[in-house]
Amino acid sequence: MRLDLRAEATTKGKCGATMKINRVVIFTALALALFSPVRAQTNPGPTSDARTQELVDQLKDVIRRAEEQRGANQPVVRQLRDLVRRYDWPWRISLLYDDFHDGDYTYNPRWIVNEGEFWVARGGGLRSNFDPTAYRRQRASDRKSDRSTMDVLGEILLGGRERDVTPTQVNSKSEGEIFTRVAISNAFAATVQLNLRNNTDRNTRLEFGPFQGDDRSSGYRLAYDSAKTPTLSLIRLGSNRSGIIEITDRGIVLEDGNTHTIEWHRGNDGEMVVLFDDREVIRTVDRTYDDPFDGFNIVNKGGEFEIKQVSVFGTQR
């Protein structure tokens, strides 16, 4: 009889603890929903509500304890974990911000043009216009002009004649690129506000993202391609491991004359989430790079666009 009573007391204790955890979980979830002024998966920026993040951090501990309890309401815990994921904002350190209102992209922060044409419009953002076909023709024409003197000398001195150089032979880098060097943590949250001009005579191809190394050949990029069906793709760059990680064509339209916002979140676990105008379009995981990044670049591979704002937030590690 004593054993039965003791077992019953133990069961009641476990049930009481489980009910207590469930009550805390539900109460905290309601508090998060009622008191959080920010929308899910939206960059709160420097003016984010610190109380919301503090509540999220506490909720993480509650979820961890609930997962350790076998009798906890697991469906509720899973829903709560999803809710935390939506409202969590671990990227609390501002690493890069530029809205180009000062009219100068060479100072605070300093952007460097590697190729192509970039300028800041008065009262506007960073603009670029790049036509790969025209660029190749120009490079070919310049190369032929430079070699005309060599051709003459060759005729006079050697009696030989240099071979004509075609556009495909001088195609060194058919893209415009601007970049800034800034230390970016492996986990980051990048936001780009932009609008693109609809070019009926050529496709638009815009890429941006964090890079590693002086040559900027490694890292991640998010690419928009108008093509026949507009797509947004997440790309991994590297010497021996470049490729598309994830791609989507679900309602990705940038060339409608409106300003659009693209958010790109990367967590410490390698999970990456991309939002197009507050709508999640990509969620995937890639752990190829676990070191910090050395900067952020914007690459124009064809088209005309205006970058209204660029911001990158990071973590302490």
- Per-residue pLDDT tens digits for 290-308: 999 999 999 999 999 999 9
For residue 65, the Cα-to-chain-centroid distance in whole angstroms is 33
The per-residue pLDDT for 315 is 92
Rounded Cα–Cα distance for residues 107 and 71 (Å): 58
The chain-wide mean pLDDT, for the chain, equals 78
> What global pTM score does this model have?
0.71
Confidence of residue 158 (pLDDT cuts 50, 70, 90): very low
For helices 2-35 and 50-68, the axis angle rounded to 10 degrees is 160
The per-residue pLDDT for 24 is 53
CB of 197 within 8 A of CB of 125?
Answer: no
Mean pLDDT of 17-34: 53
Q: Residues 278, 284, 286, 290: is their CA dihedral positive or negative?
A: positive
Q: Give φ, ψ of 203 to 5 degrees.
A: -75, 155
**pLDDT exceeds cutoff 90 at 159:** no
Higher pLDDT, 54 or 124: 124
- Per-residue pLDDT tens digits for 165-222: 333 333 346 899 999 999 999 999 999 999 998 776 678 899 999 999 999 999 999 9
Distances (CA, A) of 277 to 43, 192, 260: 11, 11, 6
**pLDDT exceeds cutoff 90 at 161:** no
The single residue listed with the structure tokens 């990705």 is 252
Mean pLDDT of 131-149: 54
**pLDDT exceeds cutoff 80 at 45:** no
| pLDDT above 70 as % of the chain | 70
Confidence of residue 253 (pLDDT cuts 50, 70, 90): confident
